[in-house]
Amino acid sequence: MNIVKTPIEGLLIIEPKVWKDNRGYFYESFNANLFANAGISHAFVQDNQSFSQKGALRGLHAQKPPFAQGKLVRVIAGSVLDVAVDIRKNSATFGHHFSIELSGENHKQLWVPPGFLHGFLTLADHTIFTYKVTSYYDRDSEIGVMWNDADLNIKWNAEIAEESLLLSEKDLLLPAFKDFDSPF
Q: Which fold has domain 44-179?
A: Jelly Rolls (2.60.120)
Q: What is the pLDDT of residue 162?
A: 87
In tens, the pLDDT along 77-136 reads 999 999 999 999 999 999 999 999 999 999 999 999 999 999 999 999 999 999 999 999
* 61 in Cβ contact with 118 (< 8 Å): yes
Q: Distance between the two ends of the chain, CA-based, in angstroms?
A: 30
| Cα separation, 78 vs 83, whole angstroms | 16
Question: Catalytic residue numbers?
Answer: 61, 131
Residue 176 is given by DSSP the state: P
In one letter, which amino acid is 149? Answer: D
* 98 in Cβ contact with 83 (< 8 Å): yes
| Residue 22 pLDDT > 80 | yes
Q: What is the pLDDT of residue 94?
A: 98
Sequence ranges of the domains in the chain:
44-179
pTM of the model: 0.95
| Cα separation, 157 vs 153, whole angstroms | 12
| Cα separation, 172 vs 178, whole angstroms | 16
| Residue 153 pLDDT > 80 | yes
In tens, the pLDDT along 38-61 reads 989 899 999 999 999 999 999 999
